[in-house]
Amino acid sequence: MKALLDRNGLWAGARRIACVVVVVAASAKGAAGGAFDETLAGGSNAERIALAKTYEATGREADAARAARLFYAAAAEGDAEAQYGMSRLYGEGRGVRSRQDKAYVWALAAARQGHAEAQNLLGVYLSTGVGVQPDARAAAAWFRKAAFQGNLKAQFNLGACFETGDGVPHDPAQAVQWYRKAAENGCAPAQFRMGVCHEKGIGARRDAAQAAVWYARAAAAGDVDAQFAFGRCLERGLGVAHQASEALAWYRKAAAQGDDRARQRVLFLEYEEPATEGAAEGRLGLAGLRLGMPIQTASIVLERALRRVGDDAMLFVTGTGAAARVGSAEDVEIHADAGGNVASIYLEREAAAKLLGLQNPSRAQIFAAAAKAAGLDPAGAVKARKRIEHRGRRLGEQEADVLVNPAGDELVCFASYAGLALPAEAGSLYRPIGSLLLKKAE
């Protein structure tokens, strides 16, 4: 469940809760000095809490420390709202030294008095192990108490429990019921999950139009995941009319919030084919892909090439530097060098045939077409054998035809394998017959 919470921004590093009602308060400047001392010493608990929230809203650490003193004075007298405030400050390390154990104790004190926000927060602590051993069943029970009081965060969290089966029986339909309660009252993460549930048919009928409606509502409320999702709907015409310019606008909003997927979609939609191949000229390539080109450009070129042959997969670069890669459901893998440029391109047989415009080709036809696309003569191929080893044990060899261009780049077309049966965990060491590997010269 924690992955679901993190993905929706509900709870990250014991600091942030989704659907938070923001307290808009006046500056605490005028409340300093005498007003603070007077309220702390002789004010009512309501006055202490009101002043504490004013200090807390400034965002200054000195003011957070004053807020903590005011909250504590009221909390020690049993005020649930103040106890909830102390729990938040200890959990976030604002105004006081971060103490997860104290954050839990104060949340428990307030929750037992029926404070809905504290009940939800206590559920989060129990779910994520803040100040206490994780206990999914207890977390779900506290979420339920707060949810029945109408707390939007708790309704969302309880929905997440039912979706993942964390602490309660797995029940997607129940998840949707709780998501809907929160979503209809303006909880953006719940609206996003409603979109996901309708798009994927999780606890609700699959309905692209309804998914787009919920994504749009959450996106308008500023939910970054929804902004990306709604942009994708607009780009692909999923449940809405295809509108590339509107998709670009939503991707830009999500990218401005740090969403890397959205940043890459902006690059994809704005990309223009260069008149010349620049730095990658002279390197080995096919279907527009070329060794030495920036891996981000390769991702765009590959996605466009796949679209032309009927595949609508969205591709993304993951990792940076030499760890950067692009992969697709068509069994295509692109890896980068330390500079972020393409070092190798692997095309499994079916993907290679598609990109080369071949139907049911033989291995020889794939190799000939790839060689032609690369400007090489297949007659000059050298036979090679690749040893396959696993955990220090030699399992066999795979044959391949290898062509080398003037830059030293290699085009490899894999052939038959001979040897022992490959164990399941070593299956990736074997390349299907007819698969291609383009490898940059080292």
In tens, the pLDDT along 64-82 reads: 999 999 999 999 999 999 9
For residue 419, the model assigns a pLDDT of 80
pLDDT (mean) for 13-17: 34
Domain count along the chain:
4
For residue 386, the model assigns a pLDDT of 84
Clarify whether residues 240 and 333 are in a common domain.
Answer: no
Clarify whether residues 28 and 165 are in a common domain.
Answer: yes
Q: Tell me if 275 is assigned to some domain.
A: no
Clarify whether residues 90 and 129 are in a common domain.
Answer: yes
Lowest pLDDT segment from 8-22, 186-200, 263-277: 8-22
Clarify whether residues 65 and 97 are in a common domain.
Answer: yes
Clarify whether residues 324 and 260 are in a common domain.
Answer: no
Q: Tell me if 175 is assigned to some domain.
A: no
Under the banding of pLDDT at 50, 70 and 90, the label for residue 33 is: low
Kindly tell me if the per-residue pLDDT of 13 is higher than 70: no
For residue 331, the model assigns a pLDDT of 85
Under the banding of pLDDT at 50, 70 and 90, the label for residue 29 is: very low
Of the candidates 150, 151, 171, which has an alpha carbon nearest to the alpha carbon of residue 160? 171
Domain boundary pick from 126, 142, 170: 170
Q: Tell me if 276 is assigned to some domain.
A: no
Clarify whether residues 193 and 52 are in a common domain.
Answer: no
Domain residues for the domain of 429 are 359-439
pLDDT (mean) for 30-42: 79
Q: Tell me if 319 is assigned to some domain.
A: yes
For residue 276, the model assigns a pLDDT of 52
For residue 400, the model assigns a pLDDT of 94
Q: Tell me if 48 is assigned to some domain.
A: yes
Under the banding of pLDDT at 50, 70 and 90, the label for residue 441 is: confident
Q: Tell me if 278 is assigned to some domain.
A: no
Clarify whether residues 287 and 254 are in a common domain.
Answer: no
For residue 30, the model assigns a pLDDT of 45
In tens, the pLDDT along 162-219 reads: 999 999 999 999 999 999 999 999 999 999 999 999 999 999 999 999 999 999 999 9
Under the banding of pLDDT at 50, 70 and 90, the label for residue 32 is: low
Chain mean pLDDT for the chain: 89
